[in-house]
Amino acid sequence: MGSGLEVWIGISAGVLTTASFLPQALKAWTTRRTGDVSLVMFLVMVAGIALWLVYGLVIGDGPLIVANLVTLALAGAVLAAKLRFG
């Protein structure tokens, strides 16, 4: 584990990158419109997040696991909306 500053930087990065998906997920599901959402981008993003999650599990990094579980849920919700609503 790093110093206090390193830990807070990591936590802040995890919170911000995870939270960045929330507005898009909410908008996609409330409006049921996803025409401007890139399917390829979200397919690639969800795959990458899933790999980060696996990596976190392999190395046993709790914060990495939690951040990527939540991010995967939010990005997955956007992807599911895109697939459902087109």
State pLDDT tens for residues 33-49: 999 999 999 999 999 99
pLDDT of amino acid 2: 64
Q: Architecture of 4-85 per CATH?
A: Up-down Bundle (1.20)
d(CA 81, CA 32): 7
**CA distances, 36 to each of 21, 41, 44, 72 (Å):** 15, 11, 16, 20
Q: What is the pTM of this model?
A: 0.86
What gap in Å lies between CA 71 and CA 77, rounded to an integer?
Answer: 10
Q: What residues in the chain have per-residue pLDDT under 50? A: none
CA distance 26 to 4: 33
User: What pLDDT shows up at residue 1?
Assistant: 56
